Amino acid sequence: MLGKIALEEHFATDETIDQASQAVPAAHWPELRDRLADLHEGRLRQMDENGIELAILSLITPGVQGITDTALAIDVARRANDFLAEQVAKRPDRFQGFAALPMQDPDEAARELERCVHALGFRGAMVNGFSETGSTSALLYYDLEQYLPFWATVQDLGVPFYLHPRNPLPQHAKIYDGHPWLLGPTWAFGQETAVHALRLMGSGLFDRYPALQIILGHLGEGLPFSLWRIDNRLAWLKEPPQHRGRQKIAHYVQNNFHLTTSGQLHTPSLVQAMLEIGSDRILFSTDWPFENMNHAADWFDSAGISELDRAKIGRRNAITLFKLKDVLGGDG
């Protein structure tokens, strides 16, 4: 399929690139570093070879979320966003941007998102899970009360918020002791992010701000498979509600969430997600440079789904969600 739009496509700045060194064995780090640093020549060649017209770029994980000094997090986010805006301006027909946000300070995060949307033309935000502040034992999840004004800003701006994974901190990851292979994309990324998403849903956030739209990668971090069990367990004992949300969890996933195919190139999983939330809420992504574009494109182009659904997931849903007609021209 030509004209695909991808939206979990990462870059790094000089200040954050070393964060990615733990993602691969040392022997593979030079290649990953080169992929991250190459925002144009090599990346565009890969996109052309794999039928990807446009990519929405985002800062690597944990990015700003891993900076415990709030003032530094604010500064790094702003400079990363300015850098990304400069790169997008060189080829706006091929690249757009997600804002990095200093969620350590909700007010500053809201101001930076407003700046990125209004002044830099970004299409939303990508935030890498919980934020650290003060010390590595102080974690901030975004269902906390202090984030309500931030979420009001996101809804008012009408842009999506991509909740991207990060690993739990070592002191909170005892379950993985002796099994480091379970960390990262293998398992811990999905578990951590799914719990964060459930916290948002159970907090009543989407009852207060029903127009909020959240994106999860990797076909929903396992949530589509578990929705029936979650809601059934919460309902069958006829006890008072155990969370503050007024709707079933499945309702929020089906109305306030979008899922991408990033790093989950498996047709049965895609079909399961389509059955749970519909093809209008699923979008194509590759997870470059941590996954290969050709693997994602080859799988998606031949996946056993209808051509109508392929067109929606590969292109049309992104045009609608991110309001991309202005950069793609015509009808998109």
Long-range contacts of 37-44 (CB under 8 A, 24+ apart): 37/12, 39/11, 39/87, 39/95, 40/87, 40/90, 40/91, 43/288, 44/91, 44/94
DSSP states along 39-55: SSHHHHHHHHHTTEEEE
Let me know if 34 is a catalytic residue.
Answer: no
Nearest to 216 by CA among 204, 228, 239, 200: 200
d(CA 33, CA 180): 22
- Two structure tokens written together for 158: 């009408």
Distance CA 200, CA 252 (A): 10
For residues 189 and 193, what is the distance between their CA atoms, to the nearest angstrom?
A: 6
70-90 vs 106-118: helix crossing angle, rounded to 10: 10
Task: Determine the longest span between alpha carbons in the chain, in angstroms.
Answer: 59
Rounded to an integer, what distance in angstroms lies between the CA atom of residue 319 and that of residue 7?
11
d(CA 54, CA 94): 4
Burial label, 41 (beta-carbon count in 10 A; 0-12, 13-18, 19+): exposed
β-pairing, 257-260 with 125-127?
unpaired
Catalytic residue, chosen from 48, 69, 177, 287, is: 287
- Catalytically active residues are 287
